[in-house]
Amino acid sequence: MPELKAPIGTRDVLPPDSARWRRFVGVFAEVVGAAGYGQVVTPIFEELAVFHRIGEATEIVTKEMYDFEDKGGRRMALRPEGTAGVVRAFVEHRPATPWKVWYTGPNFRYEKAQKGRYRQFDQVGIEVLGADDPYCDVEVIALAWQFYAALGLRQVRLLVNSLGDAGDRGRYAAALAEHFESYGDALTPESRHTLQRNPLRVLDSKRPDDRPMIEAAPLMGDFLSAAAAEHFEVVLGGLRALGIPFTVAPRLVRGLDYYRRTTFEFAAEALDAAQNAVGGGGRYDGLVEEMGGPATPGIGFALGVDRTLLACDAEGVFGLPAADLDAFVVDTTGGATALALTAELRAAGLRVDRAFDNRSMKSQMKAADRSGAAVALIVGSDELAAGTVVVRPLRGGGDQVAVPRDHVIDHVVRTGATPTP
């Protein structure tokens, strides 16, 4: 039989790493939950048309989508990002605005897989629909900033830009097209191709041959309408007021076509430049209408779970949570005592594991050590006959004691087996 493996660009997350993963999402939920955001869960697949609305010139839609026909002949796709589904849900359910939601889950892109770039990757994110206020942009950016701080990350750089209103963006795109076209064939073929579909996206090119032409390109800032410029100034003022350092990055356009006005990205400086974007977002004021809803402004961000954890590793922060079992039950008398004891301890709210298959004392004690539990609760034939349980500390030293069977829970709770976090 050929060896079966996870598909290219996907990974299994096993314990204990999965505990860290879950804590990551837990910290995020706490930070944004405390700011009034509720969780929204949308399907992992949607009708293909939902994603087409986010932009025909977006590579994640044109080239990288996992699209397929279902058994009913419908064109569907696995979601390549989170915003489209959330906006589709908003249009479908019309909740009261401002609608402040957060989400987490996997996205799918047929990318060239490498470290920090996967075909299935998780994100956490928030969206606010129905608020035009520049201070809402500040809140959204500040929450990402606060989340990074909660993880312990220190080397994150915030880049911000404004893409202007739809009209500004159009005029800028025309100026960029003229600029790049003036170089004829000097632009790489890939960028010439991008130029035909969306001149802004040429600015995203990381190809060295494109660099000089990108550096000489006109800047978005010179094309902002008075209203867009004013909006941007208020956002920057708000960031300053909150003490959040930022760099204005006039060539930051980001991947998706629907961004308008405020756009931002977070770069983890502890990671290699090619893979250091740990998150980003911006305003997408036209998207709700594009999906068939009423004109409604929107803003949000998505942060890559995998890549942010790589950044945590690089900075040596947000390590694996400590094992937190209170007790491990070792029973060499057949297992019936372990069954009852484990059930009682768990019912009392303690975190308890046990051995199976009536293994030897040595083997069960090994398992107890490996489990990271605070104490082993040991029942051999002597203890069974005497109606006692031996409590042996596994962490932090101390002597073992024999405790009457009926007092075990009290003893475990009283001696503070429950680790203080």
Residues at the site binding ligand AMP, with contacts judged by CB under 6 A: 81, 109, 111, 117-118, 121, 123, 255, 277-280, 302, 304, 306-307
Q: Which of 261/354 has CB closer to ligand AMP?
A: 261
Give least dist CB 136 to ligand AMP, A: 19
Q: Which of 123/337 has CB closer to ligand AMP?
A: 123
Q: Which of 137/306 has CB closer to ligand AMP?
A: 306
Q: Which of 63/370 has CB closer to ligand AMP?
A: 63
Cβ atoms 375, 391 nearer than 8 A = yes
Cβ atoms 283, 298 nearer than 8 A = yes
Q: CA-to-CA distance for 182 and 176, rounded, in angstroms?
A: 10
- DSSP letter assigned to residue 216: T
Q: CA-to-CA distance for 361 and 381, rounded, in angstroms?
A: 11
Per-residue CA distances from 396 to 379, 392, 411 (Å) = 22, 11, 17
CB atoms within 10 A of CB 193: 11
Q: Which of 111/353 has CB closer to ligand AMP?
A: 111
Q: How many residues does the chain have?
A: 421
Give least dist CB 133 to ligand AMP, A: 23
Q: CA-to-CA distance for 178 and 213, rounded, in angstroms?
A: 12
Give least dist CB 54 to ligand AMP, A: 10
Q: Which of 46/111 has CB closer to ligand AMP?
A: 111
Contacts of 258 (CB under 8 A, 6+ apart): 54, 55, 83, 284, 286, 287, 290
ω into residue 393 within 30 of 0, thus cis?
Answer: no
Give least dist CB 116 to ligand AMP, A: 6
Give least dist CB 38 to ligand AMP, A: 21
Q: Which of 297/304 has CB closer to ligand AMP?
A: 304
Burial of 416 (0-12, 13-18, 19+ CB in 10 A): exposed
CB atoms within 10 A of CB 215: 8
Give least dist CB 278 to ligand AMP, A: 5
Q: Which of 118/284 has CB closer to ligand AMP?
A: 118
Give least dist CB 47 to ligand AMP, A: 20
Cβ atoms 213, 186 nearer than 8 A = yes
Q: Which of 109/260 has CB closer to ligand AMP?
A: 109
Contacts of 387 (CB under 8 A, 6+ apart): 404, 405
Give least dist CB 383 to ligand AMP, A: 52
Q: CA-to-CA distance for 28 and 351, rounded, in angstroms?
A: 25
Q: Which of 255/393 has CB closer to ligand AMP?
A: 255
DSSP characters for 7-34? PTT-----TTHHHHHHHHHHHHHHHHHT
Give least dist CB 55 to ligand AMP, A: 12
Q: CA-to-CA distance for 64 and 78, rounded, in angstroms?
A: 10
Give least dist CB 130 to ligand AMP, A: 22
**Residue holding tokens 């009457």?**
404
